Structure 1
Amino acid sequence: MPARSDITYFGAGPAALPTQVLQTASQALVDFQGTGLGIAEHSHRSAIATKILEEAKADLASYLDVPEDYEILFMQAGGTGEFSATIYNLVGAWVTRKQQEAEKAGADKAKVQADLKKQVDEQLKLDYVVTGGWSLKAYQEACRLLGPEHVNLVADARTINDGKFGKIPEESTWQLSQDPAMVYYCDNETVDGVEFPKFPEALAPKADGTGPIVVADMSSNILSRRIPIKNFSLIFFGAQKNLGSTGITVVIVKKSLLPPVCPQPSPTLLRQLGLPIGPIVLSYEIIAKNNSLYNTLSIFDVYIAGLVLKKLLASFPDKVDGQEAVANKKAKLIYEALESHPDAYRIVPAPGNRSRMNICFRVIKGGDMDAAEKAFLEKSKQQGLEGLKGHRSVGGIRASNYNAVPLEGAEKLAKFIGQFANE
């Protein structure tokens, strides 16, 4: 049986975790700091749990340089749950903003409600930039919850790539709504290996600070590069790629979208406007008010995330910039190995949109792609290179190059890519 040190795991998620983190966590699972109880047994209301939660928030804010006017929430239901949560919360924020504008104008209660209903029916839009499988799922969820009449497809990458994902449409072709409740995009698409190279200029705030409410799913590339957080109203990410273990989801949200500035509309008003009412566990207002402890949060998962953050901060004095340099170097090694053998490999996404986190390619050596990829997976496994099979919906090979994959692991894969091509 192979030892852990013999394996480099390139799975897309749940992803690899640093061995040091797992060793510390395994001890804490049995007896946390001499308390006689494991970390998973301590109450989420205890002083121990509160300290773990506050340290994780502080370390995340430090590592990413999160500004003070943003709130960090630990939630559940994964990134998929956030497809719905962003809709419920940001539609609510849009309604509150319109209500406040009408009340400032001096309209009476009946007129305010009539105007709100008219604006919901005629103006409410959510914008989605669809560049891969996950942003497509988010778009579909918006259509399901609100109705397609309230959802605007800003761009669909399949229309410029023969019906497949793999490119990001030019921003000049994007069809943005006027005053949408949010503009949503996925910064890195794990299935299709597509990553935005930088923040979209079409969504950048204006000189006066105004601009669209931008929401980004960063589940698979968070902590791997510097983010212009001030350009976003909300960022969310599941922990199980670069942050920790499956079970928690992090939301970084502008405090201006939370009370007292922006309280959510009452359920009665939402019903009168014909809008859906979200589950209370997906309410940012409720989660923020209760310090992420409205219901039983998995403190063990928060603890693992905190250990990962402490390791990153200890490893990189320049914080996320240091990890970004390593991530870029690893990706460059693997892509250059693939590009060196064009007769054996075909990289799936276009050059300007290639993900540093999920490197997707096909093995075309010998003309029989299925047989070649089967051989590639079998022989890579013999080398201790695990988790390279592509997503079930698209097939192929996918090397998920997350933070816990060491530079030596990327070098090992790059070497194998060359060896297999030359056999």
Structure 2
Amino acid sequence: MKDQATPGDGPEATAPQRLSTREAAERLGVKPETVYAYVSRGQLSSRRAPGGRGSTFDAAEVDALARRTGRKAPSPATGDLVFRTGITLIEGDRYYFRGVDATELALRYDYEEVAEWLWTGELRPGVRFTAPAEALAAARRAVDALPAHSGSTDRLRVAVVAAATADPLRFDLSREAVLAAARSLVPTLVGALPLAADTPSAAEGTAGPSDAGGPGLARQLWSKLTPRLADEPSVAALDAALALLIDHDLAASTLAARVAASAHAHPYAVVSAGLGVLEGPLHGAASGLAHRMLTEVLERGSAAPVVADHLRTGRRVPGLGHRLYTSEDPRARALFALLDRVPESAGALAAARDVVTTMARHAPLHANVDLALAVLSVSCGMSAEAGETVFAVSRTAGWIAHALEEYGERPLRMRPSGEYGGPRPPQPLPAATGGPPR
């Protein structure tokens, strides 16, 4: 644990509201044809509209079906389906975990404490997650067998699969079994990663017992990211980054994790699904691009030529802007404040601020968490992919939280309908090319 800081009275109030087919479809987030499919299955009742033109539906019944299916009308901003979740709220340029300011949680509590609270609603000061010996050994063997050039996300994906094979109870989706798997998987992922180059073997952290005296996950991860000796301000910044990144609503990787959980995949498979999406350059790998940009700014002594090169070649300047925030990403703001206490980060922080100031002449974009992660990785002697590693380890806890939520929903509810745009049948069989005819 870190340091402390009335409806009306008119006739419309009693008469049931009726919806047209189009209105019912909009509330359910489906096509009008699907509304009639619900009627044919007995999930909705309908009544002929006055004059016999179309059908009408009871609004309360439609809303109840929407709650059961987890579907809502498309979002006006994006057109995407919206799924109810009680984990993260993003509102007013701030974000909250279960209604609590997430940045305050990350500044006050360790990563494991925040994760445990997010999963269970119980705050356990000093909680430490333990990697089972058999799972850790299997994960290390699998990771060690990979080619030397393998990236950290490659290693994490392999470690998850290996850990799953070591857990014969992985198909048990009861809440306690999933929580037990989660508490062991996160430290197994960290423990399976090799030490950073030039790191003395004695510096390797081990997954200790679940007591306040054991090393926290951030300290265990530190030696996997950098050969530098750990100091308290830097480890505190890394720990806060882990806590800040646990969840961020239905990001692409989290949606993939929920789809897997909807099919009742076990928690290791859920995490594998999330890792598969995370590796994209527009998601978890974005901080690596920001790392390389900051390194170039430091080498050239100014952000102006670096930003100019990005704009000249049509490349997006990394680490700036976020579709969910109109001002600075609150995760970046919290992490920058902690990095201000790390003397070695002064140069990278100045470079990041130079990028923001320079880019402001072209577009009013603010720093996002990828830029803050890049400052952390550059100033602490980490590789460009370190931010992606931090992101993946941290978000594992969030994917588990979403899996726990999704396991309580109707299975396979995330089954959208494709809008076919290919040639209409019947089409002739394709002609064989090459080789003798059969």
Q: What TM-score results when the alignment is normalised by the length of structure 2?
A: 0.22
Name the structure where strand makes up a greater proportion of residues: 1
Answer 1 or 2: higher relative contact order, Cα 8 Å, separation at least 6.
1
